[in-house]
Every structure is written in structure tokens, then in C-alpha cells.
């Protein structure tokens, strides 16, 4: 039986795959539908902390779910690309309902900054 953390990681990857494949159309997503890189449910930007993001990205199961590679370094690079503001806005933001768009932009920027800081600290 799949444990809860493995399930959350798998669902996270499935949601990103759906976003990349354009299964989701314009203005269909709400803030809570975004696959945030946390094990906990996210209701607002205040729920997104460096500790929670790093715990998610660096979890040993993350590499297993994404596929074999270079471990944490691969997971971190992959997440940094997903959450890069230009890439995120180009691929995801137009799929968010207008009323949630600014909150999603702010939260995604917060995630990107957390990942950038963590990457710099690891060097």
C-alpha cells in the first residue's frame, strides 16, 4: 500500500504532467488546484515556508517518483525550472482563474525564491 507521502509526491507529478500536456484549459484552476511543492495542503502564501518546500524537494522518495538520476541535485534543478517566474507564468498562470491569479503569482514567486536561496546555500 502506498504511504501518504509517496501518494502526495505521485499526485504532485501527475498534476504537473497534466499542466504540461495542456489538459487544463484557460482559467480553470484555482489557488488550491496548483501543485504546490509541499506535503501539507496550501490555502495561501503563508502556508509556504522554506522548511516545508525543502522537506518536499529533498525527500528521498522525490527522486524515486521522478525517476533515477542525480538525487537531490536533480530534484532541485527540476523544481527550480518549474517554478522559475518566466516559465511558470508562461505555462501555468493563464490557466488560473482571474480572481486567484495574483495570489498564485505571489506564491509561485515565493517558491522560486526559496528554491534559489536553498540552491545557493548548498554550493
Query: What's the total number of domains in the chain?
Result: 1
Query: Phi and psi for 33 in degrees, rounded to 5?
Result: -85, -15
Give the predicted TM-score (pTM) of the model.
0.89
Give residue 111's pLDDT: 98
Give residue 3's pLDDT: 86
> Domain span at residue 110?
4-122
Give residue 27's pLDDT: 81
Question: What's the maximum distance between 2 C-alpha atoms anywhere in the chain?
Answer: 39
Give residue 95's pLDDT: 94
- How high is the mean pLDDT in each 10-residue block of the chain (123 residues)? 83 92 85 96 95 92 59 84 95 94 98 96 80
Amino acid at each position: 500500500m502506498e504511504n501518504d507521502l509517496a501518494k502526495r509526491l505521485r499526485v504532485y507529478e501527475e498534476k504537473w504532467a497534466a499542466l504540461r500536456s495542456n489538459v487544463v484549459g484557460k482559467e480553470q484552476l484555482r489557488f488550491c488546484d496548483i501543485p504546490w511543492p509541499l506535503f501539507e495542503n496550501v490555502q495561501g502564501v503563508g502556508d509556504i515556508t522554506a522548511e516545508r518546500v525543502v522537506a518536499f524537494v529533498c525527500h528521498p522518495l522525490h527522486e524515486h517518483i521522478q525517476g533515477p538520476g542525480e538525487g537531490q541535485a536533480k530534484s532541485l534543478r527540476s523544481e527550480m525550472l518549474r517554478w522559475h517566474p518566466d516559465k511558470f507564468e508562461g505555462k501555468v498562470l493563464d490557466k488560473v482563474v482571474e480572481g486567484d491569479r495574483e495570489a498564485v503569482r505571489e506564491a509561485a514567486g515565493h517558491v522560486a525564491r526559496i528554491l534559489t536561496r536553498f540552491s545557493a546555500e548548498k554550493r
